């Protein structure tokens, strides 16, 4: 079994110690951080997603896997630095919309943005609309990132953007949205500034917008 596959299996099994040890081994052997994330850590999520959908894996097990994945990401954080894309000290407020508890993708976006020197303010999960508005007023960010993973919470993205508009704050911030059910079409519909398919796209799009 390749080391990446072993790491993916450890994420799937929710083996936190194993994930940390295998991540560290890959780092020590000189593997690229992107590969460790994509082939290893997210490889584990690729095993989990169909099993969860089929009812072969349940919430507590997936949460354990998510925690294990987070343990690997922590070890990678110091390695992700390098390009100072956000050296202008751009502020990026991010959060998962109200009703939605998924945060693995959001946390990955945060990690990649921080590694590119963005200042990230993470409002967490299940974030009420007003909390986003308060954060825009308080932190005056250049960017706001909204995540939704459920088709039922996608509309909370629209509600959040509409409320920001109604509060007269829409022009002050670029809004980037993401999450598995989100598409470019949806982003156009809700008048977001950009749809990002993954964390690297989030970094690249935000960096381009700064330029």
Q: How far is the CB of 114 from ligand B12 (least distance, A)?
A: 13
Chain-centroid distance, C-alpha 117: 16
Of 30 and 113, which has the nearer Cβ to ligand B12? 113
Residues lying near ligand B12 in the complex (CB under 6 A) are found at 42, 45, 48-49, 52-53, 59, 62-63, 66, 94, 99-106, 108-109, 145-147, 149-152, 176-180, 196, 198-199, 202
Of 8 and 199, which has the nearer Cβ to ligand B12? 199
Q: How far is the CB of 75 from ligand B12 (least distance, A)?
A: 17
Structure tokens that stand for 120 in this block: 């990230």
What is the rounded end-to-end Cα distance, in angstroms, of the chain?
Answer: 44
Alpha-carbon distances, residue 161 vs 10, 51, 66, 177, 189 (angstroms): 38, 34, 28, 10, 11
* Close Cβ partners of 28 (under 8 Å, ≥ 6 residues apart): none
Of 18 and 43, which has the nearer Cβ to ligand B12? 43
Q: How far is the CB of 19 from ligand B12 (least distance, A)?
A: 15
* Close Cβ partners of 188 (under 8 Å, ≥ 6 residues apart): none
Of 88 and 152, which has the nearer Cβ to ligand B12? 152
């Amino acid at each position: 079994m390749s080391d990446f596959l072993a790491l993916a299996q450890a994420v799937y099994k929710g083996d936190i110690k194993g994930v940390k040890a295998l991540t560290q081994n890959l780092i020590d052997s000189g593997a690229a951080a992107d590969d460790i994330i994509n082939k290893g850590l997210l490889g584990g999520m690729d095993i989990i997603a169909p099993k969860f959908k089929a009812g072969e894996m349940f919430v507590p097990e997936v949460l354990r896997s998510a925690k294990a994945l987070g343990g690997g990401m922590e070890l990678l954080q110091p390695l992700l630095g390098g390009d100072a894309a956000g050296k202008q000290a751009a502020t990026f407020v991010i959060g998962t919309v109200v009703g939605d508890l998924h945060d693995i993708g959001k946390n990955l976006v945060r990690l990649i943005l921080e590694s590119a020197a963005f200042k990230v303010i993470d409002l967490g999960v299940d974030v009420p609309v007003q909390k986003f508005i308060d954060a825009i007023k308080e932190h005056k960010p250049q960017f706001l990132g909204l995540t939704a993973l459920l088709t039922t919470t996608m509309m909370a993205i629209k509600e959040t953007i509409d409320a920001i508009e109604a509060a007269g704050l829409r022009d002050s911030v670029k809004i980037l949205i993401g999450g598995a059910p989100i598409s470019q079409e949806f982003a156009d519909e809700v008048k977001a500034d950009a749809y990002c398919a993954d964390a690297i796209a989030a970094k690249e799009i935000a960096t381009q917008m700064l330029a």
